[in-house]
Amino acid sequence: MNNFFHSGAILLFIIGLMAMTGSCFYSKKEHEKFRKYSTSVSTGNFLGDILGVIVVGLLSIFPWYINKIIMLFLGVLFFYFTYLAYIGY
């Protein structure tokens, strides 16, 4: 495996670990704070702004337990991608 894919696999592992940890501590109280303060999203990039509005909009519509499941699923999915990068498919 070359260094580029190795760095990407490590990054996916870290992101997956953070998503799984974040989903463990994501509560209804945190979700209400997210809904209250996530009205304006700006990245300075047109495509990033559109994507940010879509993601933040969807996450603010869903109930907190659905968001928690989505974060946990993404963490597991990133762990699986890391596994595929090291073991192969």
pLDDT (0 to 100) of residue 40: 66
Flag whether pLDDT at 88 surpasses 70.
Answer: no
The residue-averaged pLDDT of 57-80 equals 88
**Distance from chain centroid for Cα 8:** 16
Flag whether pLDDT at 39 surpasses 70.
Answer: no
Closest alpha carbon to 58 in 71, 76, 42: 71
pLDDT (0 to 100) of residue 5: 64
Confidence of residue 4 (pLDDT cuts 50, 70, 90): low
CA distances from 20 to 2, 7, 9, 16, 57 (A): 27, 20, 16, 6, 21
pTM summary value? 0.71
